[in-house]
Chains A and B, each alone.
Chain A
Amino acid sequence: DAKTTQPTSMDCAEGRAANLPCNHSTISGNEYVYWYRQIHSQGPQYIIHGLKNNETNEMASLIITEDRKSSTLILPHATLRDTAVYYCIVRAFNDYKLSFGAGTTVTVRA
Chain B
Amino acid sequence: NAGVTQTPKFQVLKTGQSMTLQCAQDMNHEYMSWYRQDPGMGLRLIHYSVGAGITDQGEVPNGYNVSRSTTEDFPLRLLSAAPSQTSVYFCASKETAQNIQYFGAGTRLSVL
Structural contact, A46 and B43, CB atoms closer than 8 A: no
- Comparing B13-21, B69-77, B79-87, B103-111, the segment that makes contact with chain A is B103-111
The answer to whether B25 has its CB under 8 Å from any CB of chain A is no
- Tell me the B residues contacting A by CB distance below 8 Å: 4, 31, 33, 41-45, 48, 50, 58, 90, 92, 94, 98-106
Rounded to whole angstroms, the CA-CA distance of A34 and B102 in the bound complex is 13
In this complex, the member of A45, A94, A96, A102 whose beta carbon has the largest number of chain B beta carbons within 10 angstroms is: A96
List of B residues within 8 angstroms of A102 by Cβ: 41-42
26 A-B residue pairings within 8 Å (CB atoms): A36-B101, A41-B106, A42-B106, A43-B90, A43-B105, A44-B43, A46-B100, A46-B101, A46-B102, A49-B98, A87-B42, A91-B99, A95-B99, A96-B31, A96-B33, A96-B48, A96-B50, A96-B94, A97-B33, A97-B45, A97-B48, A98-B43, A98-B92, A99-B42, A102-B41, A102-B42
Residue of A at shortest CB range from B56? A96
In this complex, the member of B92, B100, B101, B106 whose beta carbon has the largest number of chain A beta carbons within 10 angstroms is: B101
How many A-B contacts are there with CB distance less than 8 Å?
Answer: 51
- Tell me the A residues contacting B by CB distance below 8 Å: 32, 34, 36, 41-46, 49, 87, 91, 93-103
List of B residues within 8 angstroms of A45 by Cβ: 103
Nearest CB on B from A41, distance (A): 7
Rounded to whole angstroms, the CA-CA distance of A107 and B46 in the bound complex is 30
Q: Interface residues of A: mostly helix, strand, loop or mixed? A: loop
Structural contact, B105 and A100, CB atoms closer than 8 A: no
Rounded to whole angstroms, the CA-CA distance of A93 and B92 in the bound complex is 17
Rounded to whole angstroms, the CA-CA distance of A100 and B41 in the bound complex is 9
Rounded to whole angstroms, the CA-CA distance of A94 and B92 in the bound complex is 16
List of A residues within 8 angstroms of B58 by Cβ: 97
